[in-house]
Amino acid sequence: MLKEVRCPGCAEIYKPDDTVILDEVNTMHHPECYDRLFEAKDLDTFEGIVEKYEFFHDLLPEH
Ligand SMILES: [Zn+2]
């Protein structure tokens, strides 16, 4: 299981297959919760974003 991260908009915990936007200050948002305060730089599933960016790797399960 991935560690829990909450959407800053709706406070829901992201599920691995939730679609999320990653903004330029590396905050994830649900597309429907995205406030556009910062530019979006990626759109993927929560799991996809966590795996793609090294600074999120501490959210991955321990091996
Ligand atoms: Zn949300």
**pLDDT tens, position by position, 34-52:** 999 999 999 999 999 999 9
Give the domain ranges of the chain: 1-63
E-state strands within 1-63: 19-23, 28-29, 40-45
**15 alpha carbon – ligand 1 mean position (Å):** 11
pLDDT at 63 over 80: no
**pLDDT tens, position by position, 4-45:** 999 999 999 999 999 999 999 999 999 999 999 999 999 999
Q: Which two tokens stand for residue 6?
A: 């909450």
Asked whether 19 and 28 are in contact (CB, 8 A), the reply is no
* Cα-only R_g, the chain: 11
**11 alpha carbon – ligand 1 mean position (Å):** 6
**Beta partners for 22?**
28, 42
